[in-house]
Amino acid sequence: MATVKFVADYEVEPCIGCKLCDIVCPSGAIRMEARKPIIDDALCIGCGRCVDRCPEDIMWMKEREVPLAVTVLPEEVDQAAVAALLEKAGIEASVSICVCTLTPGSEIAGAIVKGAKNLEEVCAMTGMRSGCGIYCVAPALRLLEAAGCDMTPPGQHRWYPSTLSLYDLSDEVCAKYPDAFIAEDRALFDPDQKYGPLHKENV
Ligand code: SF4
Ligand code: SF4
């Protein structure tokens, strides 16, 4: 869960329509129309990335009149389906997928069960990626992949369609880099060797 206190805004006239704000937005809150960004306040998770990236320095964050609570509550979704998805991906329900917002695996899986079909929709529904935007991406993608979602990244967006993790590395790679102790870590985290790559192109 995230409580979003700010929302992005910008000065229209000097905007050069470069689209960079749209490209970096993690929650799909910006779309371009006639070379100007349209910001959907309901989707903005207040990360400030667009403000940091705007080359014309014409974007800013303004305080919301009412903070936006962004979350997927357990009672909103079928918990059996959430548990099955977590099990398929090999992700613990209570582990913090997003270490900035402390959003747990159960909430990310809940968003997908509720209907999120891509990373942007998961972010908009949970507030995930409103902080560093780094560590949460791979496990969230793994859950999306486990749910059978289309893993094609949006054009120019800065994430890769890979959920590379201990589960995805081949035995050959583990053997090639013994100093990385990959096999040992795998034995620790996945002693029964239940999990593996969801798609072989990730290996
Ligand atoms: S979510 Fe972040 S990048 Fe997107 S509009 Fe809001 S502040 Fe800008
Ligand atoms: S990044 Fe700045 S200049 Fe570029 S489209 Fe967005 S608001 Fe306009």
- pTM here is 0.88
Query: CA nearest 39: which of 29, 49, 48?
Result: 29
- Give the CATH number, domain containing residue 12: 3.30.70.20
Q: Which atom of ligand 2 is nearest to the CA of 36?
A: 5
Contacts of 18 (CB under 8 A, 6+ apart): 55, 56
Last residue of a domain, one of 49, 70, 91: 70
DSSP three-state, residue 114: helix
Q: Rounded to an integer, what distance in angstroms lies between the CA atom of residue 152 and that of residue 133?
A: 19
Return the ligand number nearest the Cα of 18.
2
- 178: containing domain: 164-203
In a domain, 157, yes or no: no
Q: Rounded to an integer, what distance in angstroms lies between the CA atom of residue 164 and that of residue 39?
A: 32
Q: Which of 4, 23, 27 to mutate to test the pocket of ligand 1 (most atoms within 8 A of CB)?
A: 27
Total domains in the fold of the chain: 2
The string of pLDDT tens digits covering residues 76-93 is 999 999 999 999 998 999
Last residue of a domain, one of 16, 41, 70: 70
State which H helix or E strand residue 4 sits in.
Answer: strand 2-10
Residue 181, token pair as written in the block = 């102790």
From first to last of its 203 residues, the chain has per-residue pLDDT tens of 889 999 999 999 999 999 999 999 999 999 999 999 999 999 999 999 999 999 999 999 999 999 999 999 999 999 999 999 999 998 999 999 999 999 999 999 999 999 999 999 999 999 999 998 888 998 999 999 999 999 888 877 777 776 677 777 888 888 899 999 988 888 888 888 777 777 544 44
